[in-house]
Chain A
Amino acid sequence: MIDVIDLKKNFGHLEVLKGITTTIKEGEKIAIVGPSGSGKSTFLRCLNCMEDPTGGAVIFEGVDIADMKVDINIHRRHMGMVFQQFNLFNNKTVIENIMLAPVYIAAHDLRMKAFKNFFIKIRNTLPIKNKKTLYEISTSPSKIKEDARENAMKLLKRIGLEEKADVYPSTLSGGQKQRIAIVRALAMNPKVMLFDEPTSALDPEMVGEVLDLIKQLADEGMTMVIVTHEMGFAKEVATKVMFMDGGKVLEENSPEEFFSNPQHPRAKEFLSKVL
Chain B
Amino acid sequence: MGNFDKKLEKFWEIFYYNDGYIKVVTGLRNTLYISLAGLAIGIVIGTLIAIVEVFPKYKRLPKILDGFCRFYVGLFRGTPVVVQLLVAYYVVLPLMGINMPGLNVCVLVFGLNSGAYVSEIMRSGILSVDPGQMEAGRAVGLSYGVTMLKIVVPQAIKNILPTLGNELIALVKETSVVSFVGAADLYVAFNYIGTNSYEFMVPYLVMAVIYIVIVMIIALLIKAMERSLRKSDRRN
Contact = CB atoms under 8 A, between A and B. Distances in A.
A104 B149 CA distance: 12
Which of A83, A91, A168 has the most chain B CB atoms closer than 10 A to its own CB? A91
Interface string B141-165: 1110010001100110010000000
B138 A91 contact: no
Interface in A90-104: 90-92, 100-101, 104
A188 B141 contact: yes
Nearest to B143: A73
Nearest to A75: B141
Contacts of B150: 100, 104
Given A50-B135, A91-B158, A168 B232 contact: yes
Contacts of B154: 91
B136 interface: yes
B139 A104 contact: no
Chain B: interface size category: 20 to 34
Contacts of A81: 139-140
Contact of A76 (B139, B146, B151): B139
Given A101-B141, A188-B140, A83 B132 contact: yes
A85 B131 CA distance: 11
Nearest to B146: A104
Contacts of B233: 168, 170
A79 B231 CA distance: 32
Interface residues of A, number: 29
B140 A91 contact: no
B133 A77 contact: no
B133 A185 contact: no
Contact of A104 (B132, B135, B142, B234): B142
Contacts of A83: 132, 135-136, 139
A100 B132 CA distance: 16
Contacts of A185: 139-140
Contacts of B9: none
B62 interface: no
Which of B133, B136, B138, B146 has the most chain A CB atoms closer than 10 A to its own CB? B136
Contacts of A101: 137, 140-142
A74 B141 CA distance: 6
A151 to B, nearest CB: 14
Contact of A89 (B133, B138, B143): B133
Contacts of B13: none
A10 B150 CA distance: 31
Contacts of A73: 138, 141-143
A50 B141 contact: no
A100 B140 CA distance: 9
Contacts of B139: 48, 50, 76, 79-81, 83, 185
A87 interface: yes
A78 B154 CA distance: 27
A88 interface: yes
A171 B234 contact: yes
Given A91-B158, A181-B136, 11 more contacts: A73-B141, A76-B138, A77-B141, A83-B135, A85-B132, A87-B136, A90-B232, A91-B232, A171-B234, A184-B140, A188-B141
6 closest Cβ pairs, A-B complex: A77-B141, A87-B136, A101-B140, A87-B132, A81-B139, A168-B232
14 contacts: A50-B138, A50-B139, A83-B132, A89-B133, A89-B137, A92-B151, A100-B142, A104-B146, A105-B141, A105-B142, A168-B232, A181-B136, A184-B140, A188-B140
